[in-house]
Amino acid sequence: MPGARLRDLSEAVEEQTALVVGLISGSQFFNHAFLVLLPPILPILSRDLQVSIGLLGLALGAQALVNTAFQLPFGYLADHYDRTITLGLSSVLGAVGALATALATTFPELVLGQVVLGLGVAGHHPAHYPLLTDATSDDTRGRAFGVYNFGGSLGFATPPVVITAILAVPGFTWRHGVGLIGAVGLLYAVVVTVLVGWRVDDAITAPNVAASASGTPLRERVAAELRGLVAEPGILAVALLTLFSSTANWGVTTYAVVFLTDVYGVSLGVANLTLTGIFVVGAGAILLGGYLTDRFSGGYILVASFGGFTLLVAVVAANVVPAVLAVGLFLLLGAVRSMAGPARDQLTERLAAHGTVAKSFAIVTIGIMLGSTVAPPVFGYLIQRVGVQVTFFAVAAVGLATTALALLVLTRFVDGHAGVGAV
């Protein structure tokens, strides 16, 4: 009888783990799809709205800026109050922003849609990672993060395919593609919120710490949160690392289509399929990265990923290979850069202080989002001034700086940190 009860308990835990990982990976799919609605259609938007590529980069930057600004508020909500509300609010607002983007007929309306989208997407990491962490064990968490990031990579890969397919249908425009993704995303937002609230145990959805007393002044609570940030230099170092890596990654993601059409002369359709391929190949590489993170040292994976990314971007920027090989190198680049995701997540989770998982991932996500804020307008400006080829050499330079910073962070915060040696 005791053995049977243990088996039943084990099966229940595994069922909860599978449910949470599946639902949250689906949520990650839609949030990432929302983030890359514009890059596949930048040339079309430039013509339709009569604005430059650089100005469209500012619209993407505005989305990312709002996303960055609301990371900590959503992290505080998830840590102290309710993870399910955080998840639902984030998911619904992201989908509404996507629908508003589809309806935009002027540049200001486009920016407004992107701002609402950014506000919604800001909550997905603070809500997702605490749920994943509490639903998994130490020896499976790397693979869970791998599956989660796999869902995100498929989300990145979907808009180019969907929008390209819809553009091929007579009478349909980019608005139909963006609107379709937003509508399906809104439906999923409702479904995932209901299922998490109904089917997932309270032990997983409960906040990390007790809610703050209602009588505590807001100023004191904010001051306490800021003091907590200063007390976590390891998390701040990881956030800085993700800022550099995100800047380089979003330089490629945002302007790969422009680069392939302008430098290598490929068609817009082929360039969009290549962008999709980058994320599809990257999705498989994330699963491999999750396995390697559980099996070996995640630190080695981080350094190898950033170093390989730098080399590949430099090679394609040099324009020394045929167009078909350049497409292949972009696909390889997608695999190499994606392998770092699970190792970065494991590093964050292990460096986070007790009761601060949501906030810690919010801080690291701020680094990611600052990179996505900086990259579109800065690299877009460089494209306008010096051309897309020189701009990609600048992306490679940021990748090199990322590799050097990774070595520094691992040496300073990992080697001597108790419990993080496996990273």
Say yes or no: domain 16-206+222-414 is CATH 3.40.47.10. Answer: no
Burial of 323 (0-12, 13-18, 19+ CB in 10 A): middle
Residue 217 buriedness (CB in 10 A; 0-12 / 13-18 / 19+) = exposed
pLDDT one digit per residue (tens) for the chain, 423 residues: 444 433 443 555 577 888 899 999 999 999 999 998 988 888 888 889 888 877 888 888 888 889 888 888 888 888 777 888 899 999 999 999 999 999 999 999 999 999 999 999 998 888 898 888 888 887 777 778 878 888 888 898 899 889 889 988 998 999 999 999 999 999 999 999 999 888 888 778 777 554 444 445 545 555 555 555 555 677 888 889 999 999 999 899 889 988 999 899 888 888 888 988 888 888 888 888 878 877 776 677 888 899 999 999 999 999 999 999 999 999 999 999 988 888 888 778 777 766 666 677 778 878 887 887 788 889 988 988 899 999 999 999 999 999 999 888 888 766 544 334 444
H or E element that contains 18: helix 2-35
Tokens of 405: 């910073």
- Measured CA to CA, the distance from residue 311 to residue 225 in angstroms comes to 39
Burial (CB < 10 A; 0-12, 13-18, 19+), residue 223, is exposed
Are 308 and 340 a contacting pair, CB within 8 Å? Answer: no
> How far apart are alpha carbons 308 and 11 in whole angstroms?
41
Q: Three-state SS for 91?
A: helix
The reply to whether the predicted model has a pTM over 0.75 is no
Q: How many CB atoms lie within 10 A of CB 155?
A: 25
